[in-house]
Amino acid sequence: MPFYAQHIKAARLQLQKNDPVMKRIIKLVGPFHAKTKRDRFGTLVSSIVSQQISVAAARTINTRLLEATSSSVENPKYTPEGILEFDVDGLREFGVSRQKASYVLDLAEKVHSGAVELESLQRQSDDAVIEILTQVKGIGVWTAQMFLMFSLGRLDIFPCDDLGIKNAIATHYQFDELPSKSKMLEISKPWRPYSTVASWYLWQSLDLSGD
């Protein structure tokens, strides 16, 4: 589901009304412009490939892997069938580490077999989506939360273990050190049911401040 303009408008109004710090952040960052990604399988493959490497390296590897596994040159797209044409060693030739290759194959196998039904996730609760996705090797809670936010367009996700979110809260809410989970959850209470929008603004604020 995309981020609908009326929902974002309501989110911005509530966040600015309920949290003066968030009001300042929203004014600093400007309009919300995040988009959701419709290609659910491709989003998860890219997320696995991109873990713990630079943006540039992730882009290069994803480009190579996509070109090699897609059946379409004009409109390349990750598919379980395309991934499953390769084994771990085959995927490594495109720059994917052995561990990530095994994760990508596990994802492809589970989606291909129907053990993980990506198209049905929109009808599941947030907790159920996390439980389903974390069955896949290499997909943890954080990756599942990013999927909820930027693939399914869920508006009330707060990834409180994300380092960028911790840094942004420490900066804007004037902590001398990274805040505890309990402190972050307390701060985030006024954001509900729009924690996703608040989280996006926190990430963007770090880009502007140069952190």
Cβ 77 vs Cβ 42: under 8 Å: yes
Q: How far is CA 171 from the centre of its chain?
A: 22
Cα–Cα distances in angstroms (integers) from residue 15 to residues 78, 133, 193, in the given order: 37, 30, 10
Concerning whether 207 is annotated as a catalytic residue, the answer is no
Vertex 164: Cα angle to 134 and 208 (nearest 5)? 140
Residue type, 112: H
The residue to which tokens 């399988």 are assigned: 41
Q: How far apart are CA 114 and CA 148, in angstroms?
A: 20
Which residue among the candidates 39, 89, 161, 162 is catalytic per the annotation?
162
Residues 6+ apart with CB under 8 A from 189: none
Question: What counts of helices (H) and strands (E) characterise the chain?
Answer: 12, 0
How far, in Å, CA of 141 to CA of 162, rounded?
Answer: 10
Catalytic residues: 162
